[in-house]
């Protein structure tokens, strides 16, 4: 049942493909780790995968963010409340732009309420910033 498609160990230092059994890189001699995870799949491993997917045909744009970290913060808040959300990935790291946060249409009202609560909490902590 456990089929592996790995054909070898990729050296983290130089990128050379080595034998699966190899302990060190044949090219540069660096120690080879057993972990075969790609950097992408190593992120957000604590998240439920079901909370990271939103059906494109049944989603609602909840909010737009100028910063990816703000968007991820909001997304994390929703996920910790059991609401699935997805971020648009059109923004390149370090470049200005807008990140769109989507949830399922049925979750949108709850998402807005949660984000409004979080904003209210944040704004009461710095009330000298009255608009
Ligand atoms: Zn190497």
Does residue 104 sit within a domain?
yes
CA distances from 124 to 31, 119, 121, 129 (A): 52, 9, 5, 9
Q: Are residues 63 and 31 in the same domain?
A: no
Q: Are residues 78 and 114 in the same domain?
A: yes
Report CA(10)–ligand 1 centroid distance (Å). Answer: 8
Report CA(40)–ligand 1 centroid distance (Å). Answer: 21
Higher pLDDT among residues 25 and 89, named by residue: 25
Q: Are residues 121 and 57 in the same domain?
A: yes
Does residue 130 sit within a domain?
no
Report CA(18)–ligand 1 centroid distance (Å). Answer: 8
Give residue-wise pLDDT tens across range 104-127.
Answer: 999 999 999 999 999 898 888 666
Lowest mean pLDDT among 33-42, 43-52, 73-82, 103-112: 33-42
Enclosing domain of residue 21? 1-36
* Count of domains forming the chain: 2
In contact, 98 and 65? CB cutoff 8 Å: yes
- Report the distance separating Cα 68 and Cα 3, nearest Å: 36
Does residue 41 sit within a domain?
no
Q: Are residues 62 and 120 in the same domain?
A: yes
In contact, 86 and 102? CB cutoff 8 Å: yes
Q: Average pLDDT of 48-67?
A: 90
Report CA(42)–ligand 1 centroid distance (Å). Answer: 21
Q: Are residues 54 and 23 in the same domain?
A: no
């Amino acid at each position: 049942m456990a089929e592996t498609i790995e054909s070898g160990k990729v050296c983290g230092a130089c990128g050379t493909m080595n034998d699966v059994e190899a302990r060190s890189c044949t090219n540069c001699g660096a120690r080879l780790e057993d972990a075969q995870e790609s950097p992408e799949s190593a992120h957000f491993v604590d998240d439920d995968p079901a909370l990271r997917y939103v059906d494109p045909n049944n989603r609602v744009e909840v909010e737009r963010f100028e910063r990816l970290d703000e968007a991820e913060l909001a997304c994390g808040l929703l996920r910790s409340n059991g609401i699935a959300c997805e971020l648009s990935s059109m923004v390149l790291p370090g470049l200005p732009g807008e990140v769109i946060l989507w949830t399922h249409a049925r979750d949108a009202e709850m998402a807005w309420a949660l984000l409004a609560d979080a904003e209210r909490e944040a704004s009461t902590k710095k009330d000298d910033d009255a608009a």
